[in-house]
Structure 1
Protein backbone atom coordinates (compact mmCIF):
# COMPACT_ATOMS: atom_id res chain seq x y z
CA UNK A 1 0.00 0.00 0.00
CA UNK A 2 2.83 2.35 0.82
CA UNK A 3 4.53 1.62 -2.52
CA UNK A 4 1.38 2.56 -4.49
CA UNK A 5 1.13 5.86 -2.64
CA UNK A 6 4.77 6.60 -3.47
CA UNK A 7 4.15 5.93 -7.16
CA UNK A 8 1.25 8.39 -7.17
CA UNK A 9 3.43 11.02 -5.54
CA UNK A 10 5.99 10.59 -8.34
CA UNK A 11 3.50 10.39 -11.23
CA UNK A 12 1.29 13.32 -10.18
CA UNK A 13 3.97 16.04 -10.48
CA UNK A 14 5.12 14.58 -13.81
CA UNK A 15 1.60 14.76 -15.21
CA UNK A 16 1.11 18.31 -13.99
CA UNK A 17 4.37 19.35 -15.71
CA UNK A 18 3.25 17.70 -18.96
CA UNK A 19 -0.08 19.51 -18.85
CA UNK A 20 1.59 22.84 -18.10
CA UNK A 21 3.98 22.43 -21.04
CA UNK A 22 1.32 21.38 -23.54
CA UNK A 23 1.18 23.54 -26.64
CA UNK A 24 -1.88 25.36 -27.86
CA UNK A 25 -4.14 23.36 -30.08
CA UNK A 26 -3.86 24.21 -33.80
CA UNK A 27 -7.24 25.95 -33.73
CA UNK A 28 -6.24 28.20 -30.80
CA UNK A 29 -2.93 29.04 -32.49
CA UNK A 30 -4.77 29.89 -35.72
CA UNK A 31 -7.28 32.09 -33.87
CA UNK A 32 -4.41 33.95 -32.18
CA UNK A 33 -2.68 34.50 -35.52
CA UNK A 34 -5.83 35.62 -37.34
CA UNK A 35 -6.67 37.98 -34.47
CA UNK A 36 -3.26 39.59 -34.90
CA UNK A 37 -3.80 39.99 -38.66
CA UNK A 38 -7.22 41.55 -38.12
CA UNK A 39 -5.98 43.99 -35.50
CA UNK A 40 -3.09 45.09 -37.74
CA UNK A 41 -5.27 45.70 -40.84
CA UNK A 42 -5.07 49.37 -41.73
CA UNK A 43 -5.18 49.78 -45.50
CA UNK A 44 -7.94 49.17 -48.00
CA UNK A 45 -5.92 46.26 -49.40
CA UNK A 46 -5.63 44.64 -45.93
CA UNK A 47 -9.38 44.84 -45.41
CA UNK A 48 -10.11 43.56 -48.92
CA UNK A 49 -7.91 40.54 -48.18
CA UNK A 50 -9.91 39.94 -45.01
CA UNK A 51 -13.16 40.25 -46.99
CA UNK A 52 -11.90 37.59 -49.42
CA UNK A 53 -10.85 35.36 -46.51
CA UNK A 54 -14.23 35.61 -44.78
CA UNK A 55 -16.16 35.13 -48.03
CA UNK A 56 -14.13 32.01 -48.77
CA UNK A 57 -14.67 30.75 -45.21
CA UNK A 58 -18.42 31.34 -45.45
CA UNK A 59 -18.57 29.43 -48.73
CA UNK A 60 -16.60 26.51 -47.26
CA UNK A 61 -18.85 26.34 -44.21
CA UNK A 62 -21.97 26.47 -46.40
CA UNK A 63 -20.64 23.61 -48.55
CA UNK A 64 -19.84 21.54 -45.44
CA UNK A 65 -23.31 22.19 -44.01
CA UNK A 66 -24.85 21.05 -47.29
CA UNK A 67 -22.76 17.86 -47.22
CA UNK A 68 -23.96 17.16 -43.68
CA UNK A 69 -27.58 17.76 -44.73
CA UNK A 70 -27.19 15.10 -47.42
CA UNK A 71 -25.68 12.76 -44.84
CA UNK A 72 -28.58 13.48 -42.49
CA UNK A 73 -31.02 12.66 -45.26
CA UNK A 74 -29.21 9.33 -45.76
CA UNK A 75 -29.54 8.55 -42.04
CA UNK A 76 -33.23 9.38 -42.07
CA UNK A 77 -34.02 7.49 -45.29
CA UNK A 78 -32.13 4.35 -44.27
CA UNK A 79 -32.38 4.37 -40.50
CA UNK A 80 -32.86 0.60 -40.45
CA UNK A 81 -29.24 0.15 -41.60
CA UNK A 82 -27.81 2.07 -38.66
CA UNK A 83 -29.66 0.48 -35.76
CA UNK A 84 -29.35 2.12 -32.38
CA UNK A 85 -26.35 4.14 -33.50
CA UNK A 86 -28.55 5.89 -36.06
CA UNK A 87 -29.90 8.31 -33.44
CA UNK A 88 -26.35 9.17 -32.37
CA UNK A 89 -25.31 9.75 -35.98
CA UNK A 90 -28.39 11.86 -36.57
CA UNK A 91 -27.90 14.08 -33.51
CA UNK A 92 -24.18 14.46 -34.20
CA UNK A 93 -24.89 15.45 -37.80
CA UNK A 94 -27.52 17.99 -36.71
CA UNK A 95 -24.98 19.52 -34.32
CA UNK A 96 -22.44 19.74 -37.14
CA UNK A 97 -24.98 21.44 -39.41
CA UNK A 98 -25.77 24.02 -36.71
CA UNK A 99 -22.06 24.63 -36.15
CA UNK A 100 -21.28 25.11 -39.87
CA UNK A 101 -24.27 27.40 -40.36
CA UNK A 102 -23.26 29.50 -37.36
CA UNK A 103 -19.67 29.77 -38.60
CA UNK A 104 -20.89 30.76 -42.07
CA UNK A 105 -23.14 33.42 -40.57
CA UNK A 106 -20.31 34.84 -38.46
CA UNK A 107 -17.97 34.88 -41.47
CA UNK A 108 -20.60 36.77 -43.50
CA UNK A 109 -20.96 39.29 -40.67
CA UNK A 110 -17.18 39.76 -40.45
CA UNK A 111 -16.94 40.26 -44.22
CA UNK A 112 -19.72 42.86 -44.03
CA UNK A 113 -17.90 44.69 -41.27
CA UNK A 114 -14.71 44.86 -43.33
CA UNK A 115 -16.71 46.00 -46.39
CA UNK A 116 -17.97 48.94 -44.33
CA UNK A 117 -14.41 49.78 -43.31
CA UNK A 118 -13.25 49.66 -46.94
CA UNK A 119 -16.13 51.93 -47.99
CA UNK A 120 -15.25 54.39 -45.24
CA UNK A 121 -11.55 54.37 -46.13
CA UNK A 122 -12.33 54.90 -49.80
CA UNK A 123 -14.78 57.70 -49.00
CA UNK A 124 -12.15 59.46 -46.89
CA UNK A 125 -9.56 59.07 -49.65
CA UNK A 126 -12.03 60.42 -52.21
CA UNK A 127 -12.82 63.40 -50.00
CA UNK A 128 -9.11 64.23 -49.67
CA UNK A 129 -8.62 64.22 -53.46
CA UNK A 130 -11.68 66.46 -54.07
CA UNK A 131 -10.35 69.05 -51.62
CA UNK A 132 -7.29 69.49 -53.84
CA UNK A 133 -8.27 68.84 -57.51
CA UNK A 134 -4.62 68.83 -58.65
CA UNK A 135 -4.08 65.71 -56.50
CA UNK A 136 -6.79 63.57 -58.08
CA UNK A 137 -4.44 61.51 -60.26
CA UNK A 138 -1.20 61.83 -58.30
CA UNK A 139 -0.84 59.23 -55.52
CA UNK A 140 2.68 60.40 -54.59
CA UNK A 141 1.49 63.85 -53.71
CA UNK A 142 -1.49 62.39 -51.85
CA UNK A 143 0.93 60.53 -49.62
CA UNK A 144 2.89 63.71 -48.96
CA UNK A 145 -0.31 65.58 -48.27
CA UNK A 146 -1.34 62.98 -45.73
CA UNK A 147 2.04 63.22 -44.01
CA UNK A 148 1.94 67.02 -43.85
CA UNK A 149 -1.62 66.93 -42.51
CA UNK A 150 -0.49 64.58 -39.77
CA UNK A 151 2.38 66.90 -38.86
CA UNK A 152 0.03 69.89 -38.69
CA UNK A 153 -2.33 67.98 -36.40
CA UNK A 154 0.47 67.06 -33.99
Structure 2
Protein backbone atom coordinates (compact mmCIF):
# COMPACT_ATOMS: atom_id res chain seq x y z
CA UNK A 1 0.00 0.00 0.00
CA UNK A 2 2.91 2.33 0.69
CA UNK A 3 4.19 1.85 -2.90
CA UNK A 4 0.84 2.99 -4.33
CA UNK A 5 0.95 6.15 -2.25
CA UNK A 6 4.49 6.86 -3.46
CA UNK A 7 3.46 6.44 -7.11
CA UNK A 8 0.46 8.69 -6.57
CA UNK A 9 2.61 11.40 -5.02
CA UNK A 10 5.13 11.13 -7.85
CA UNK A 11 2.45 11.47 -10.53
CA UNK A 12 0.62 14.38 -8.87
CA UNK A 13 3.28 17.05 -9.59
CA UNK A 14 3.59 15.88 -13.20
CA UNK A 15 -0.14 16.17 -13.76
CA UNK A 16 -0.23 19.67 -12.29
CA UNK A 17 2.69 20.60 -14.55
CA UNK A 18 0.79 19.41 -17.63
CA UNK A 19 -2.34 21.30 -16.62
CA UNK A 20 -0.34 24.51 -16.12
CA UNK A 21 1.27 24.20 -19.57
CA UNK A 22 -2.10 23.60 -21.24
CA UNK A 23 -3.48 26.80 -19.70
CA UNK A 24 -0.60 28.86 -21.10
CA UNK A 25 -1.35 27.65 -24.64
CA UNK A 26 -4.98 28.78 -24.40
CA UNK A 27 -3.92 32.31 -23.52
CA UNK A 28 -1.72 32.58 -26.59
CA UNK A 29 -4.56 31.45 -28.88
CA UNK A 30 -6.95 33.99 -27.36
CA UNK A 31 -4.29 36.67 -27.74
CA UNK A 32 -4.45 36.44 -31.55
CA UNK A 33 -8.23 36.95 -31.58
CA UNK A 34 -8.08 39.90 -29.22
CA UNK A 35 -5.37 41.57 -31.32
CA UNK A 36 -7.74 41.53 -34.28
CA UNK A 37 -10.51 43.04 -32.15
CA UNK A 38 -8.13 45.70 -30.83
CA UNK A 39 -6.96 46.69 -34.30
CA UNK A 40 -10.51 47.06 -35.59
CA UNK A 41 -11.87 48.93 -32.53
CA UNK A 42 -13.05 52.41 -33.49
CA UNK A 43 -16.07 53.31 -31.39
CA UNK A 44 -16.81 53.95 -27.75
CA UNK A 45 -18.68 50.65 -27.60
CA UNK A 46 -15.75 48.70 -29.08
CA UNK A 47 -13.30 50.08 -26.55
CA UNK A 48 -15.74 49.54 -23.68
CA UNK A 49 -16.10 45.89 -24.70
CA UNK A 50 -12.31 45.55 -24.84
CA UNK A 51 -11.85 47.13 -21.42
CA UNK A 52 -14.50 44.77 -19.99
CA UNK A 53 -12.75 41.83 -21.65
CA UNK A 54 -9.41 42.81 -20.14
CA UNK A 55 -11.04 43.38 -16.73
CA UNK A 56 -12.50 39.86 -16.82
CA UNK A 57 -9.15 38.48 -17.90
CA UNK A 58 -7.49 40.28 -14.99
CA UNK A 59 -9.95 38.65 -12.59
CA UNK A 60 -9.03 35.25 -14.03
CA UNK A 61 -5.34 36.03 -13.59
CA UNK A 62 -5.88 36.96 -9.94
CA UNK A 63 -7.58 33.59 -9.39
CA UNK A 64 -4.76 31.73 -11.17
CA UNK A 65 -2.08 33.52 -9.14
CA UNK A 66 -3.95 32.62 -5.94
CA UNK A 67 -4.21 28.97 -7.04
CA UNK A 68 -0.51 28.77 -7.86
CA UNK A 69 0.47 30.43 -4.58
CA UNK A 70 -1.75 27.97 -2.72
CA UNK A 71 -0.11 25.11 -4.59
CA UNK A 72 3.34 26.46 -3.75
CA UNK A 73 2.38 26.84 -0.10
CA UNK A 74 1.15 23.24 -0.07
CA UNK A 75 4.47 22.15 -1.51
CA UNK A 76 6.47 24.12 1.04
CA UNK A 77 4.37 22.71 3.89
CA UNK A 78 4.79 19.11 2.67
CA UNK A 79 7.92 19.15 0.51
CA UNK A 80 8.90 15.69 1.79
CA UNK A 81 5.99 14.18 -0.22
CA UNK A 82 7.44 15.33 -3.54
CA UNK A 83 10.89 13.73 -3.45
CA UNK A 84 13.39 14.71 -6.13
CA UNK A 85 10.75 16.15 -8.43
CA UNK A 86 9.79 18.63 -5.74
CA UNK A 87 12.41 21.20 -6.73
CA UNK A 88 11.24 21.07 -10.34
CA UNK A 89 7.65 21.46 -9.20
CA UNK A 90 8.58 24.39 -6.99
CA UNK A 91 10.57 26.24 -9.67
CA UNK A 92 7.87 25.63 -12.28
CA UNK A 93 5.15 26.89 -9.95
CA UNK A 94 7.20 29.99 -9.12
CA UNK A 95 7.69 30.61 -12.85
CA UNK A 96 3.94 30.28 -13.40
CA UNK A 97 3.28 32.78 -10.61
CA UNK A 98 5.67 35.29 -12.23
CA UNK A 99 4.05 34.68 -15.63
CA UNK A 100 0.52 35.22 -14.35
CA UNK A 101 1.52 38.29 -12.33
CA UNK A 102 3.13 39.82 -15.44
CA UNK A 103 0.05 38.92 -17.49
CA UNK A 104 -2.13 40.52 -14.80
CA UNK A 105 -0.07 43.70 -15.04
CA UNK A 106 -0.35 43.69 -18.85
CA UNK A 107 -4.10 43.13 -19.00
CA UNK A 108 -4.71 45.74 -16.31
CA UNK A 109 -2.72 48.24 -18.34
CA UNK A 110 -4.68 47.29 -21.48
CA UNK A 111 -8.01 47.66 -19.67
CA UNK A 112 -7.00 51.10 -18.41
CA UNK A 113 -5.88 52.15 -21.89
CA UNK A 114 -9.15 51.08 -23.54
CA UNK A 115 -11.16 52.70 -20.75
CA UNK A 116 -9.28 55.96 -21.38
CA UNK A 117 -9.82 55.74 -25.15
CA UNK A 118 -13.52 54.99 -24.62
CA UNK A 119 -13.86 58.00 -22.30
CA UNK A 120 -12.16 60.26 -24.87
CA UNK A 121 -14.41 58.95 -27.64
CA UNK A 122 -17.49 59.45 -25.49
CA UNK A 123 -16.43 62.99 -24.64
CA UNK A 124 -15.70 63.76 -28.30
CA UNK A 125 -19.04 62.28 -29.39
CA UNK A 126 -20.86 64.15 -26.64
CA UNK A 127 -19.20 67.45 -27.57
CA UNK A 128 -19.72 66.85 -31.29
CA UNK A 129 -23.39 65.93 -30.93
CA UNK A 130 -24.34 69.51 -30.02
CA UNK A 131 -23.43 70.74 -33.49
CA UNK A 132 -25.16 68.62 -36.06
CA UNK A 133 -25.23 69.53 -39.75
CA UNK A 134 -29.02 69.83 -39.71
CA UNK A 135 -28.82 72.78 -37.34
CA UNK A 136 -26.55 74.89 -39.54
CA UNK A 137 -28.38 78.04 -40.59
CA UNK A 138 -31.58 77.34 -38.65
CA UNK A 139 -30.66 79.29 -35.59
CA UNK A 140 -28.92 82.58 -35.35
CA UNK A 141 -27.55 84.30 -32.32
CA UNK A 142 -29.52 87.47 -31.78
CA UNK A 143 -27.27 89.28 -29.39
CA UNK A 144 -25.83 92.66 -30.12
CA UNK A 145 -22.36 93.24 -28.85
CA UNK A 146 -21.33 96.72 -27.91
CA UNK A 147 -17.93 97.21 -29.51
CA UNK A 148 -17.67 100.86 -28.68
CA UNK A 149 -14.69 101.06 -26.35
CA UNK A 150 -15.56 104.62 -25.29
CA UNK A 151 -18.81 103.52 -23.69
CA UNK A 152 -17.06 101.41 -21.07
CA UNK A 153 -17.07 102.98 -17.64
CA UNK A 154 -13.64 103.99 -16.38
CA UNK A 155 -12.91 103.68 -12.73
CA UNK A 156 -10.34 105.77 -10.95
CA UNK A 157 -7.99 103.83 -8.83
Could you say which residue in structure 1 is the equivalent of 2:66? 66
TM-superposed CA distance for 1:68, in Å, is 0.4
Provide the rounded CA distance (Å) in 2 between the counterparts of 1:126 and 1:103: 34
Aligned residue pair count: 111
1-side partners of 2:99 and 2:60: how far apart? 13
State the match for 1:110 in structure 2.
110
Aligned residue number for residue 101 of structure 1? 101
Structure 1 or 2: more helix by fraction: 1
Gaps of 5+ in 1: 1-24, 133-141, 149-154
TM-score (norm 1): 0.65
Give 1:56's aligned residue. Answer: 56
What is the match of residue 127 of structure 1? 127
Larger Rg: 2
Report deviation, 1:120: 0.6
Structure 1 residues 69 and 48, CA gap change in structure 2 (3 angstroms):
same
- Cα 1:84–1:26, aligned 2, differ >3 Å: closer, same or farther? closer
Cα distance in structure 1, aligned partners of 2:124 and 2:50 = 20
Q: Decide whether aligned partners of structure 1 residues 26 and 39 sit closer, same or farther in structure 2, where only a CA change above 3 A counts.
A: same
- Give the Å deviation of 1:35: 1.2
CA distance in 1, matches of 2:78, 2:126: 60
Structure with bigger RCO (C-alpha 8 Å, 6+ apart): 2
Q: Counterparts of 2:59 and 2:65 in 1: how far apart (Å)?
A: 10
Task: State the 1:129 CA deviation.
Answer: 3.2
Runs of 4+ residues over 2 Å off in structure 1: 25-33
Coordinate RMSD, CA, aligned? 2.2
